[in-house]
Amino acid sequence: MKLQAEIGADKHRVELKRDENTVFANIDEREYEVEVSEPEANVYLIKNGGKVSEVFVSPHTQAGEAMQVRVGSDEIEVRISDPKRLRGSTVNGEQADGLAEIRTAMPGKVVRILVSAGDAVKKGDGVIVVEAMKMQNEMKSPKDGTVSEFRVAENDNVGAGEVLVVIE
């Protein structure tokens, strides 16, 4: 998976591959191989050689949304985006006809649906939970509206950029 990470004014090219608990990362042409585990929600243990780092990542829902990342006492804001998804996309996923589509940022599995078709939702309300790379991400409504349709069911495998839910 190829992504772009923004930290302040700096942009970095990131490519990630995963095999079980091992993550292979290429960041700006530098290669890394680390072991990753998630002992609790949003907390990751990253083992690199003999060193173990505990990393907290704030919950996020939409691709491109800034995340707070804390490693030890250092805290940084990181914005992750998928350059392929940015081509031809609309602001906040809203279409000209007022529809908003909630899409996955990466391949994963639908683990929970939090609302039903026809339910009214407010911007920021949790709608669906998708697990990707052993992390569960609660995807939130990008606007006030009504859930008009689900295009997936619990336990479905989903691809990057796939539409999961439509909000009117």
Give the CATH number for residue 135: 2.40.50.100
Residue 40 tokens, joined? 């609790």
Residues 48, 97 share a domain: no
Residues 95, 74 share a domain: no
Mean pLDDT within 119-140: 89
CATH number of the domain to which 43 belongs: 3.30.700.30
**pLDDT, mean over the chain:** 83
pLDDT at 92 over 70: no
Least confident of 5-19, 72-86, 126-140: 72-86
Please report the pLDDT score of residue 167 as a whole number.
93
Residue 49 tokens, joined? 């050689």
Residues 100, 67 share a domain: no
Residue partners of 161: CB distance under 8 A and separation at least 6: 82, 84, 85, 103, 104, 105
Using a pLDDT cut of 70, give the percent of the chain over it. Answer: 86
Please report the pLDDT score of residue 60 as a whole number.
62
Please report the pLDDT score of residue 29 as a whole number.
92
> Three-state secondary structure along the chain?
CEEEEEECCEEEEEEEEEECCEEEEEECCEEEEEEEEEEECCEEEEEECCEEEEEEECCCCCCCCEEEEEECCEEEEEEEECHHHHCCCCHHHECCCCCEEEECCCCEEEEEECCCCCCEECCCCEEEEEEECCEEEEEECCCCEEEEEECCCCCCEECCCCEEEEEC
Where does a domain end: 83, 106, 124?
83
Residues 74, 16 share a domain: yes
User: How many structural domains does the chain have?
Assistant: 2
Tell me the pLDDT tens digit for each residue of 29-82.
999 999 988 788 788 899 998 899 999 988 765 555 788 889 888 899 888 877
pLDDT at 161 over 80: no
Domain that holds residue 112: 90-167
Residue type, 4: Q
